Amino acid sequence: MQYRQMPKSPDRLSILGYGCMRFPTTESGQIKEDKALELLHYAYDRGVNYFDSAWNYHRGESEPLLGKFLGTIDRGKAFVATKLPSWEIKKREDLDRYLDEQLERLQTDYIDYYLLHSLNSKNWENLLQHDILSFLEKAKSSGKIRFAGFSFHDHYEIFSRIVQSWTWDFTLIMLNYLDTEYQAGLQGYKLALQNDMGVLVMEPLRGGKLVAPVPDEVKDIWQKSRYKGSMADRSLRWVWNLPGCTTVLSGMSNLEQLKENIDLAGRHRANEIDEEELKLYASARREYIKRIAVPCTECRYCLPCPQGVLIPSVIGVYNEAVMFGDRERHRKEYFDFIPEKGRADCCTSCGECLPKCPRNIDIPEVMKKIAGYFKE
């Protein structure tokens, strides 16, 4: 296992962090406690020391399960991260209430790394209204949390605004070799380092989409590589190659995944990929991007739609389906995550969105096409 440190923390954190959001579950969705604890112990015994949870993971069961695990090991050798549910905060008192309940769930007196969960423009503005920064300062001074950060899901401009607003210890961003300009991206990674922040990375495999299925054109690119590794290996290797990336989170739900990732975390180091190999990553990225069907940048200028169609989200799922060549998986995402009233077939072709789109996309026609593509 390799270890790295954040600029403001003395902790040597394992470069592989255990994301506690995908434990094995029963058919009804409950965590299989024995199996989950077995996985956590296997990881801990082999050097994984960063464990990341959140209030809402596994419908609230993740933190209590992690708390049981902490009671069976040396607490001082495990670094616990969890997240404040930013969307649930309605008044200032909620901040203290959630933190105290999380400490109780985790059966611990302190949380090593405390994050504001899933910050975007809306959640950030809501937290500012409830004096979030003074809360974090108080929580740190009281010893309830050691380091404060945030996880992020929005555009770079919002990321920059949040970073400049306070002296943060660290951030958790989505980053992989495909999404270098998505959300915070590499620009956000560099900005965090400039501000002496630690950087943790989520979605290194793009939710598994960089692993399978892989388009033939991308496979052909990797055939030119002298490095013969799995798709998971290639993806994790790219992130670990970034010297400012302290820890990569992986939600490992079975022993096979865990063993592979631990093995890789023992082998890969920063700045180990040469220029020739980095050019192949860039070629693979370009090949994926070429496959994007609709040139939507998710600027959201087209919103609100009079009919309530969630235009950028609808296009986003469609683009991923085409990009990764996996209609069935993305059809499920489309119907699971986009509410019925926000889907493409609700478009009436009123045309109100047309003059608003800076890319001159014929949105009504695109909506017709997507409705047919995902038709059940």
Of the pLDDT bands very low, low, confident and very high (cuts 50, 70, 90), residue 297 is confident
Report the length, in residues, of the chain. Answer: 376
If you search the block for the tokens 């592979």, which residue do you land on? 260
Burial 200-232 (b: 16+ CB within 10 A, else e): bbbbbbbeebbeeebbeebeebbeeeeeeeebb
Residue-by-residue DSSP string for 104-124 = HHHT-S-EEEEEEEEE-HHHH
If you search the block for the tokens 């003074």, which residue do you land on? 134
Model confidence at 173: pLDDT above 80? yes
Q: What are phi and psi of 146, to 5 degrees?
A: -95, -45
- CB 287 within 8 Å of CB 259: no
- CB 106 within 8 Å of CB 139: no
Residue-by-residue DSSP string for 314-348 = HHHHHHHHHHHT-HHHHHHHHHHHS-GGGSGGG--
Of the pLDDT bands very low, low, confident and very high (cuts 50, 70, 90), residue 282 is very high
Model confidence at 376: pLDDT above 80? no
pLDDT tens digit sequence for 219-244: 999 999 999 999 999 999 999 999 99
Strand partners, 4: 13
Of the pLDDT bands very low, low, confident and very high (cuts 50, 70, 90), residue 69 is very high
What pLDDT was estimated at residue 207? Answer: 86
Of the pLDDT bands very low, low, confident and very high (cuts 50, 70, 90), residue 140 is very high
Q: How far apart are CA 187 and CA 147, in angstroms?
A: 23
Q: How far apart are CA 368 and CA 167, in angstroms?
A: 47
What pLDDT was estimated at residue 299? Answer: 85
Average pLDDT (97-119) is 97
Asked if CATH classification 3.20.20.100 holds for the domain at 3-282, the reply, yes or no, is yes
Q: How far apart are CA 319 and CA 374, in angstroms?
A: 12
- Of 81-90, 109-118, 292-301, which range is least confident? 292-301
Report CA torsion sign: 330, 335, 337, 339. positive
Distance of alpha carbon 116 from the chain centroid: 13
Give me the torsion for CA of 83, 85, 90, 92, rounded to 10°: 0
Q: What percent of the chain has pLDDT over 90?
A: 96
Q: How far apart are CA 127 and CA 90, in angstroms?
A: 9
Query: Treating both helix axes as pointing N-terminal to C-terminal, what angle do 62-70 and 33-45 enclose, rounded to 10 degrees?
Result: 50
Model confidence at 66: pLDDT above 80? yes
Write down the domain spans for the chain: 3-282, 311-373
